[in-house]
Amino acid sequence: MRRIISSVLSLCLIVATLAACTPKTVEVEVIKTVEVEREVVKTVEVEVEKMLLPGAIPYPEGPLMAGGREPRTFAVNEIVEFRALDSYCEPAWVTDLVNQGKLPPVEERLPKEPYVYKGAFMSDGIGEYGGVWRGVWAAPTEGWNYMAGVSQGWFGIEAIVQEEPLATGPMFLTEDVSPLPQLAKSWEWSDDGYQLTMHLIEGAKWSDGVEFTSDDIMFLWEDNILDPQVNSWTQASFWTIEDEPIELEALDKYTIRWTFPAPFPLTQLYNMTNLIFSPGPSHILKPLHPKYNSATNYQAYRDSMPPNKLPNVTMGPWVPVEYKTDEFMVMRRNPYYWKVDENGCQLPYLDEVQWTYAQTGAVRTLNTIAGTADHANVENPETFDETVRQAMDPTAPFRVEWGPETLGFNLELNQSKHLGVSDERDAAVRDLLRDLRFRRALTQAIDRDGLARSMTNGPFFRPWPGGLFPGSQFFDRKSVVYFPFSPDTSRALLADIGLKDTDGDGILNWTEGPMAGKNVEIALTTWEDISAGATLGPALVLMFRDVGIQANFRILTNLAMNEASTNGTWELRVARPGQVWATPNARPKDFAPVTKEFGWHRIGDQPAEYQDFEKEMIAIADKFLLEIDFDKQFELMSAYNRLHTENVYSIGLVISRYGLMLNKYFKNVPIGTPAFLYQWDFNNFLPEQIWLESADRWVLGQQEIYPGKLPGVDFPYPTY
């Protein structure tokens, strides 16, 4: 390599010199050049490593895509209000059940002041009752105790069964990017900004008719989030500011008060939302919790609401009433749902939600194209081409809107030094993953242009170095440190670490320490529901092998991957990053290892061992958490993104846009709804206020599985 570089440099010098000389001086100049070359070669010998490590290149702008619409925005009070109405209405068949004495009157089932959607906000106005939503899900349904970290199966199921104090999904609809009230109808800050008082909706009921109160909030907080033996979606360390704990107390049945260690931490409002702070029915789960029941244990508590023990109690618009493992699920309207339209008609408009199980999320897209499902996110690359082609047909039963560049796939590296390390081999691998030279060797071994072309035809995907999504309002292209594809650079970096192919099999070996002589082999995994992982994983194996690293690729079940994440027993994984990389303002604790549960640097029982740049990231996150000025937030995120990309904290692969596919007959889909931004789809398009005209239901051939039936009336709630 050195000979090649020196020869090239010599030729360049000769050509450059000849170009500057007259014919009479050529011979003399060539002699001088040869003499100079001898000195240059010595310099090149010393600087060769630097020559092999090309600097970062500018990150290009992304292509524009047709099909997206700018959202129509509103003030929050133009979308929703809480007030009592003179009268209320419901589907006629529900009133028949009331008249039969099987159900209390609607006004008794609603809160004192219901949640009211304003008619002017609705894209197509006040709706009519009836119809079905047909969905597809492709992840295991573990159960209904979501406070204990149990998954309901994603794909919109979580969003339906969980309700929370504030809604962040619809923030794209608000003029000032504010969360919408939900179970908390209003809130105010103390004069000094250290306390936030929230007023809960009064008289709202769980689907079994039991009132929702602050007891449900406090059970979530004290006995799930703060209980270290419950694997809730967030732990106590999440609810801190600069390592000082946040406190929560109930003042009465309908009032809670937060106390913060710093004034006016407005970003904390974004944490009082889906998954992060979704209260469950304490009247059911409290007696099943080990703190209150000495006859049980934490595993039994986690598993206490299995998927087939139905109906489950929820505050959502529909209630699961039937489930058959890996086949189907049926949800019926919640007769106690606490939202109405401006005419006082209890929501939801649609009576039933039907779910069909599939092996992959791609089936959801294909079913929506075929007209046998009503919604999909265009997120699986293998369906992009067909989706676009079919959408051009005027008879297509669906439409697609393309959002910002927030569909990314990356390679995450486990940078915890201790968690999940069980032997000398594990420790040696973690040392490599924590070495910037190794991370940079991996990123420069990746041909991202080739990966983008392999994903799909057309301009859908392009290279992405990692860090913030280009579609984020906080993305600063100038902050990106983008290392180009350069396998020679990777080889030089790996040699500098001391890795060499000592046995001639093409795979580098450790040359010192307890692993000396062993091949460098690393486990590469992905989730079963990330279909792109099946394409990206094998490609990465070949690219890494080209520079001497053996990556052993496997596709794991979601449950196995989640367990590996919790236990730290993973090394490299192909992932589809979440909302934080698009909206760090809504996830200010998730983009740096501020908590012990950070994605690819989880801390276990051993003391934290953060790298220097991680400490800088933590400091930025702490400042960002308390900053309310957007320009200053933008500066902080620019500094963060530079740290992330120059230290190759994660390895971005490719970036694209989500397409939101919806039944084109659906009414009241908010204009410009993204498939993914502050939250996922179902938290964005507000399905409880979507409706279908009677004629369209006939066109679609919709049939309810359980017409005229309700949870609690025709489907008795189980005992626990």
Give the pLDDT band (50/70/90) at residue 67.
low
Is 50 exceeded by the pLDDT of residue 401? yes
CATH 3.10.105.10 given to domain 407-656: yes
Q: Give the closest residue to 63 by CA, choosing from 410, 479, 482, 458.
A: 458
Segment 632-674, tens digit of pLDDT: 999 999 999 999 999 999 999 999 999 999 999 999 999 989 9
Most confidently modeled of 338-347, 598-607, 618-627?
A: 338-347
**pLDDT value at residue 628:** 82
Domain boundaries, the chain: 2-52, 76-402+659-700, 407-656
Segment 462-489, tens digit of pLDDT: 999 999 999 998 999 999 999 999 999 9
Estimate the crossing angle of helix 436-444 against helix 424-433, to 10 degrees.
70
Range of lowest pLDDT (54-58, 127-131, 136-140, 514-518): 54-58
**pLDDT value at residue 1:** 37
Q: Give alpha helix (H) positions in 325-466.
A: 362-370, 384-391, 424-433, 436-444, 448-455
d(CA 10, CA 19): 14
**pLDDT value at residue 435:** 98
Pair type for strands 352-357 and 651-656 = unpaired
**pLDDT value at residue 55:** 67
Which residues, at least 6 apart from 42, have a Cβ–Cβ distance to it below 8 Å? Answer: none
Write down the mean pLDDT value for the chain.
90
Q: Per this entry, what is the length of the chain?
A: 720
> In the CATH hierarchy, which top-level class contains the domain 76-402+659-700?
alpha beta
Give the pLDDT band (50/70/90) at residue 383.
confident
Is 70 exceeded by the pLDDT of residue 3? no
DSSP-derived secondary structure letter, 516: T
What would the two tokens of residue 287 be? 């007696």
What would the two tokens of residue 541 be? 């194996």
Give the pLDDT band (50/70/90) at residue 539.
very high
Between 597 and 193, the higher pLDDT residue: 193
d(CA 382, CA 160): 28
d(CA 418, CA 123): 53
Give the pLDDT band (50/70/90) at residue 63.
confident
Segment 334-374, tens digit of pLDDT: 999 999 999 999 999 999 999 999 988 889 999 999 999 99
**pLDDT value at residue 381:** 85
Which H or E run includes 349? none
Mean pLDDT value across residues 612-617: 96
Mean pLDDT value across residues 543-572: 95
Pair type for strands 132-137 and 352-357 = parallel
Using an 8 Å Cβ cutoff, are 373 and 533 in contact?
Answer: no
**pLDDT value at residue 30:** 34
Is 50 exceeded by the pLDDT of residue 43? no
**pLDDT value at residue 23:** 35
> How far is residue 297 from each of residues 218, 293, 301, measured CA to CA in Å?
20, 8, 6
Segment 408-459, tens digit of pLDDT: 999 999 999 999 999 999 999 999 999 999 999 999 999 999 999 998 877 7
Give the pLDDT band (50/70/90) at residue 384.
confident
The secondary structure of the chain in percent helix, strand, coil, rounded to multiples of 5, reads 35, 20, 50
